[in-house]
Amino acid sequence: MPFRHVVMFKWEDHVDDDHVEQVRAGLSALPPVIDVIRSYVHGTDVGVSEGTYDYVVVADFDDVADFHTYRDHPQHVQLIEELIKGHVADRAAIQYETGPG
């Protein structure tokens, strides 16, 4: 069953534009090396509404097993360790099936 992962981040106050660019570049590098990713979009909030998160990642997979492959992939884990942990004030995530029904 098709499967989607959505994660949103609110950055800590010390996170600057250069750091966000490093995150963007790191995330953009994942689809070419993790072949189970079917669709991968991410970006910074454009600031047109109050109460939003700062950054979002939306990733599609064929099934839950492929999501686990992505989640546990060494390059993804390294990106989290180096660029996400310690830089996030709040995180929200959901995974759900995108098939019929």
**Domain parsing of the chain, residue ranges:** 3-45+55-97
pLDDT value, residue 101: 54
Q: With contact defined as beta carbons under 8 Å apart, do 87 and 16 qualify?
A: no
pLDDT value, residue 99: 78
Which numeric CATH code is attached to 3-45+55-97? 3.30.70.100
Q: Walk along the chain (101 residues) in steps of 10 and give the mean pLDDT of each run.
A: 96 98 98 98 97 98 97 98 98 92 54
Residue of 96, 99, 85, 74 whose CA lies nearest to 5: 96
DSSP 4-57: EEEEEEEE-TT--HHHHHHHHHHHHTHHHH-TT-SEEEEEE--S-STT--SEEE
